[in-house]
Amino acid sequence: MAAQKRQTSKKPVDAAKAAAKKARREARQAEEAAAKKAAARKKKLRTYAMVSATVIAAGVVLWALWGALFPGEVDGVESFGSDGREHVTLGTPVSYSSATPTSGTHASQSANCGIYTEQIPLELAVHGLEHGAIVIWYRPDVGDVVVDELTDIVNEYDSHVILSPNPDIVEPVVVTAWTRLKAYEGADPEIREFIDVYARRGPERVPCDF
């Protein structure tokens, strides 16, 4: 009877231990599952972050490339179709439809970039435009202040800008690029934007240092 009592009293203890062990095992399994789930979530978030960063970086690069390949326009700039790019011997006059042509037949030699106090021939100016230069024409009677301000603008650049008087223009200042033109009332600060946007956008990209 005594032995039977010891066996009977031991069973609840073993059951309690087993239940506790099972509970600990289940708790440990739950913790491991939660840890795995948290790790998977963190990995997924890191993957999303890396993909997002890559997409953003690619977008920035593509935007820069798009801007380089297809630059924008300055408000109010007139755009013209090309009148050709034929060359003639230096000194051969060419008849243009405008006092500030933006394309067309031109001299086989280009004007050097820089500041001129006497008008450069249109045939040389157009060749400069073909090379991506900007030609800033001003009426000689605009006054010294405007000329000085235009000179200051041009001196901010080390290439691809030409400043020249032109007695045949109606507007005080006319700025031209290849197939682009805009007139100004004076040395408008926007001229810098015009230069930045249209310089080196001619059909030929040739150095034109001062």
Q: Give the separation between CA 182 and CA 169, rounded to whole angstroms.
A: 12
pLDDT at 52: 67
Please tell us whether the domain made up of 78-198 is placed in CATH 1.10.10: no
Q: Letter for the amino acid at 83?
A: D
Contact 133, 160 (CB under 8 A): yes
CB atoms within 10 A of CB 86: 10
Q: Give the separation between CA 160 and CA 129, rounded to whole angstroms.
A: 9
Domain ranges of the chain: 1-70, 78-198
Tens-digit pLDDT profile for residues 111-137: 999 999 999 999 999 999 999 999 999
pLDDT at 141: 97
Tens-digit pLDDT profile for residues 5-41: 455 555 555 777 777 778 788 778 878 887 788 788 8
pLDDT of 1 over the 50 cut: no
pLDDT at 63: 43
Q: Is 134 helix (H, G, I), strand (E, B) or coil?
A: strand
Q: Give the separation between CA 208 and CA 25, rounded to whole angstroms.
A: 80
Q: How far is the CA of 165 from the CAs of 34, 47, 77, 170, in angstroms? A: 79, 61, 21, 12
CB atoms within 10 A of CB 129: 28
Side-chain half-sphere CA neighbours of 138 within 13 A: 26
pLDDT of 98 over the 80 cut: yes
Q: What is the DSSP letter of 100?
A: S
Q: Give the separation between CA 111 and CA 133, rounded to whole angstroms.
A: 10
Bridge partner residues of 107 (DSSP): 88
**pTM: predicted TM-score of the whole model, two decimal places:** 0.69
Burial label for 30, CB within 10 Å (0-12, 13-18, 19+), is exposed
- For the record, the structure tokens of 199 come out as 């310089």
Tens-digit pLDDT profile for residues 49-95: 777 667 666 655 544 454 555 568 999 999 999 999 999 999 999 99
